[in-house]
């Protein structure tokens, strides 16, 4: 079968278009809703607790996840090169047995940092923070709320971290540009908490991207996000055991924060190694 040559503009336009469509389908409307709630907060909870709202919340992200393999194959053909791993499918080697639990603890640590920063923001600017988690729900809302949170929450770790960043990178975006767009996308869907929370959500998004880059997997972050959302849904609806699970998540978060120290040391050593490797490569090329 003869190979098909695609123009350069197609190799740039297709990944950017796929990234935009993917973001808009999964999170575009919710971003605008979150922005509206930030400017005009309401008393009622924004959580999905009916069948209709759960479908509206879950269906778009499932659609994006479902078509993602096809998007990858098409972009791979157009761009003419093999793309890096998303980090969603385990590699089934001994290192994966280290990286998945490590990324889980680190993601729990990132969640703990998010809570600390957001609590500080709520203390400094209480009148601009909207604590929707404190709104009252009952146990009858638990199935619908949990279904929504356990699907849409972890889906963020796939769509808004490796998928979005790799598409933008394949479209020619510089690494820092792709990362900033991914951070902005993550912050955007959480704007309903109020503008003082933007800093905390931004730090959290950056940490999750760093964890994915270092560990090569998003499975740990998916598990951590699912644990956080399950805990939140149990507490919001008054399901027994929610507070105990929250205590476990908090302990894991502190352990994860401690684990960030060796992570930072590893990143620094890697940066030094890469920095020293550039002159050597240049020297070898000129020789």
CA distance linking residue 113 with residue 129, whole number of Å: 17
Is pLDDT above 50 for 287? no
Q: Residue 134: its pLDDT value, please?
A: 53
Tell me if 98 sits within 8 A of 263, measured CB to CB: no
Token pair, residue 179, equals 């990362």
- Tally Cβ neighbours within 10 Å of residue 86: 19
Q: Greater confidence, 273 or 83?
A: 273
Compute the residue count for the chain: 287
pLDDT digits (tens, 9 = 90+) for 60-103: 999 999 888 888 777 777 776 665 667 777 777 677 778 889 99
Tell me if 111 sits within 8 A of 224, measured CB to CB: yes
Q: For 43-54, b where at least 16 C-beta lie within 10 A, e where not — what string?
A: eebbbbbeeeeb
Tell me if 169 sits within 8 A of 14, measured CB to CB: no
pLDDT digits (tens, 9 = 90+) for 30-71: 999 899 988 888 776 667 778 888 888 889 999 999 888 888
Q: Residue 81: its pLDDT value, please?
A: 61
Where does 98-221 show beta strands of DSSP type E?
none
- Looking at every residue in the chain, the average pLDDT score rounds to 84
Where does 60-115 show beta strands of DSSP type E?
none
Q: Comparing C-alpha atoms, which of 228, 205, 187, 221 is closest to residue 106?
A: 221
Tell me if 259 sits within 8 A of 109, measured CB to CB: yes
Angle at CA 172, nearest 5°, toward 167 and 177? 80
Is pLDDT above 70 for 23? yes
Tell me if 99 sits within 8 A of 220, measured CB to CB: yes
């Amino acid at each position: 079968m003869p190979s098909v040559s695609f123009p350069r503009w197609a190799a740039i336009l297709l990944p950017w278009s796929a990234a935009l469509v993917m973001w808009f389908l999964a999170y575009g409307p919710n971003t605008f809703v979150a922005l509206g709630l930030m400017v005009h907060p309401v008393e009622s909870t924004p959580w999905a607790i009916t069948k209709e709202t759960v479908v509206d919340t879950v269906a778009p992200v499932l659609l994006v996840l479902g078509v993602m393999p096809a998007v990858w194959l098409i972009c791979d053909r157009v761009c003419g090169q093999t793309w890096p791993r998303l980090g969603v499918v385990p590699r089934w080697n001994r290192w994966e047995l280290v990286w998945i639990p490590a990324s889980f603890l680190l993601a729990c640590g990132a969640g703990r940092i998010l809570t600390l920063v957001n609590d500080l923001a709520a203390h400094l600017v209480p009148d601009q923070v909207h604590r929707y988690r404190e709104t009252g729900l009952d146990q009858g809302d638990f199935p619908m709320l949990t279904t929504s949170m356990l699907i849409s929450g972890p889906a963020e770790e796939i769509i808004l971290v490796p998928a979005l960043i790799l598409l933008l990178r394949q479209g020619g975006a510089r690494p820092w540009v792709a990362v900033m767009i991914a951070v902005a996308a993550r912050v955007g869907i959480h704007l309903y908490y109020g503008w003082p929370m933007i800093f905390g959500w931004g730090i959290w998004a950056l940490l999750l991207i760093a964890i994915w880059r270092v560990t090569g997997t998003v499975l740990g972050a998916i598990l951590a996000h699912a644990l956080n959302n399950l805990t939140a849904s149990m507490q919001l609806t008054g399901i027994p055991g929610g507070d105990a699970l929250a205590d476990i998540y908090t302990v894991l978060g502190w352990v994860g924060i401690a684990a960030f120290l060796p992570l930072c040391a590893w990143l620094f050593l890697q940066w030094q190694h890469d920095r020293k490797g550039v002159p050597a490569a240049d020297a070898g090329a000129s020789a």
